[in-house]
Structure 1
């Protein structure tokens, strides 16, 4: 009977290992810090008031939808983009810059203050503009990838 050694699960397929490693963890932490500070700063520069559309939160989330879609489209064309870079910019920077919790918080504030009209308008704008920005970001990312000869 021939004995065959089994590869250890941690070392098998090491080239395909998806463990993030310390580079990715650090990139997410640094990106998260930057994204959080950018969001906080935008709120200080452009404060929101009850009873009005939370324009700052809306603008941040629409911008983030566009940028994330564009970057993701470029990364699909360039699958060898460093994992730490994708993690730092995606979930790190943009994940902390754009947060669904801010949308929910703004909706809750609007609704509980009795501003159902602005609540409904804000909800609709968030969905329509967010999806539109993501579609535009996808087109922009595709154009960037096409310019460099990496068609999708």
Structure 2
């Protein structure tokens, strides 16, 4: 990338160094103004990951058995993502940081593709190939079904709430 293009793609931020001199730092243009988003995603991610870890402590999976806890966490997280997306996209206008905090942060930290992959590897390594294949196939099906169910249930609930509110106004 040419020097001019590199300079155009970056913003320049400055501040005082330890010796009182000026320190110039280049900030990628893509990241400028994204501090609050990064902060809420990080905070939400910590909260979601802590909740997932807590679930693994409450309901540990025995070696060589179907990883019901991870399966359940991923399904519940996907259902909640379906609820969140309907509420945010079809409901009242939400604060711009709600979606990154709850969606990417909390629910992204709560659900886990990495543990899903490790569980499959561990099951396969312990000779539980059928269980690994069942888990491999069932998890994405359950995740998609959970998103659909969460979305559909939220749409039904909001439609019912709107109907009740409309009937009360007519009285």
So what's the TM-score if we normalise by structure 2? 0.70
The one-character-per-residue Cα deviations of 1:33-87 (angstroms, maximum 9, x if unpaired) are 1111101111111111221100000000000010001111221113731121111
Alignment of 1:1-152 (within 5 A): 21-78=34-91, 80-149=93-162
User: Which protein, 1 or 2, shows the higher relative CO under an 8 Å CA cutoff with sep ≥ 6?
Assistant: 1
Structure 1 stretch displaced more, 27-36 or 70-79: 70-79
The runs of at least 4 aligned residues of structure 1 exceeding 6 Å deviation read none
SS state at 1:41 partner: helix
Q: Once superposed, what is the RMSD of the aligned Cα atoms? A: 2.0
CA distance 1:20–1:116, shift in 2 (3 Å) = farther
Q: Kindly state the Cα deviation for residue 107 of structure 1 after the two structures are TM-superposed.
A: 0.7
Larger radius of gyration: 2
* Counterparts of 2:96 and 2:153, CA distance in 1: 22
Select the structure that is richer in strand: 2
Provide the aligned length of Structure 1 versus Structure 2.
132
The one-character-per-residue Cα deviations of 1:2-35 (angstroms, maximum 9, x if unpaired) are xxxxxxxxxxxxxxxxx76433222212211111
